[in-house]
């Protein structure tokens, strides 16, 4: 019975950690903060003639694609570690 309770508690903790990761890191930090920073810096560069709007748009589109693939890579690694842990039981 103790082993089952410990396993249940670990699953609940994993659920909290995963939800914090997707809510805080994946959604807020990466999507919102990075895009806001790019817009802020890009606007500054455009106003001072360092960058054209077309280049900023192209960079933001490229960054979005690269970010999506990077997140897929991290999610695959997380799934791999989870499966490896389940295999040790």
**Model pLDDT for residues 17-75, shown as the tens digit of each residue:** 888 877 777 777 777 888 899 999 999 999 999 999 999 999 998 988 888 888 888 77
Give the orientation angle of helix 34-47 with respect to helix 53-87, to 10 degrees.
Answer: 160
**Token pair of 47 as six digits:** 């106003």
pTM of the model: 0.60
pLDDT, position 51: 94
Report d(CA 54, CA 70) in Å as an integer.
24
Report d(CA 73, CA 67) in Å as an integer.
10
| Residue 73 CA from chain centroid, whole number | 10
């Amino acid at each position: 019975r103790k082993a089952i309770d410990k396993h249940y508690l670990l699953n609940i903790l994993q659920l909290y950690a995963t939800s914090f990761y997707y809510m805080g890191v994946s959604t807020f930090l990466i999507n919102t903060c990075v895009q806001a920073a790019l817009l802020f810096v890009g606007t500054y560069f455009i106003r001072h003639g360092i960058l054209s709007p077309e280049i900023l748009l192209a960079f933001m589109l490229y960054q979005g694609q690269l970010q999506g693939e990077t997140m897929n890579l991290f999610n695959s690694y997380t799934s791999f570690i989870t499966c490896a842990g389940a295999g040790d039981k």
